Structure 1
Amino acid sequence: MISLPFGPFARRNFAIEPLAAADCPHLHRIHVETFRHPWSEEDFHALIGQDTVFGFMAREEGRPGSAAGFVLARLVVDEAEILTIAVLPALQRRGVGRALMDAVLRHLHRERARSLFLEVDQANVAAQALYRRLGFVKVGDRPAYYETQGGRSAALILRRDLGGPA
Structure 2
Amino acid sequence: MSEMAQQFAVSRLTLADVDSLLPIEEQSYSHPWTRGNFTDSFTSGYDAFCLRDPDAGVIAYCVVMAVVDELHLLNITVASSFQGQGLARQLLDHVFNHAAQSGMESILLEVRVSNLRAIQVYQQAGFVEIGRRKAYYPAQSNTREDAIVMRRSQG
TM-score of the aligned structures, taking structure 2 as reference length: 0.88
- The equivalent of 1:158 in structure 2 is 150
Is 1:19 equivalent to 2:35 in the alignment? no
Give the stretch that moved more between structures: 23-32 or 96-105: 23-32
Deviations along 1:94-132, one digit per CA (max 9) or x if unpaired, are: 111111111111111101101110000111111111111
User: Contact 2:31/2:139 (CA < 8 Å) preserved in 1?
Assistant: no
2:40 match: secondary structure: helix
Q: C-alpha separation between the residues in 2 aligned to 1:22 and 1:104?
A: 21
When the two chains are superposed, the root-mean-square deviation of aligned CA atoms in Å is 1.9
Higher relative contact order (CA 8 A, sep 6+): 2
Is 1:7 equivalent to 2:3 in the alignment? yes
2:104 match: secondary structure: coil
Question: Structure 1 regions of 5+ residues with no counterpart?
Answer: 1-5
- The equivalent of 1:3 in structure 2 is none
TM-score of the aligned structures, taking structure 1 as reference length: 0.83
2:58 match: secondary structure: coil
- The equivalent of 1:74 in structure 2 is 65
Residue 51 of structure 2: which of 35, 49, 58 is its match? Answer: 58
Q: C-alpha separation between the residues in 1 aligned to 2:134 and 2:34?
A: 25
Q: Tell me the number of residue pairs that the alignment of Structure 1 and Structure 2 aligns.
A: 153
User: Contact 2:72/2:107 (CA < 8 Å) preserved in 1?
Assistant: yes
1:13 offset after TM fit, Å?
5.2
Q: C-alpha separation between the residues in 2 aligned to 1:147 and 1:20?
A: 27
Q: C-alpha separation between the residues in 2 aligned to 1:26 and 1:148?
A: 25
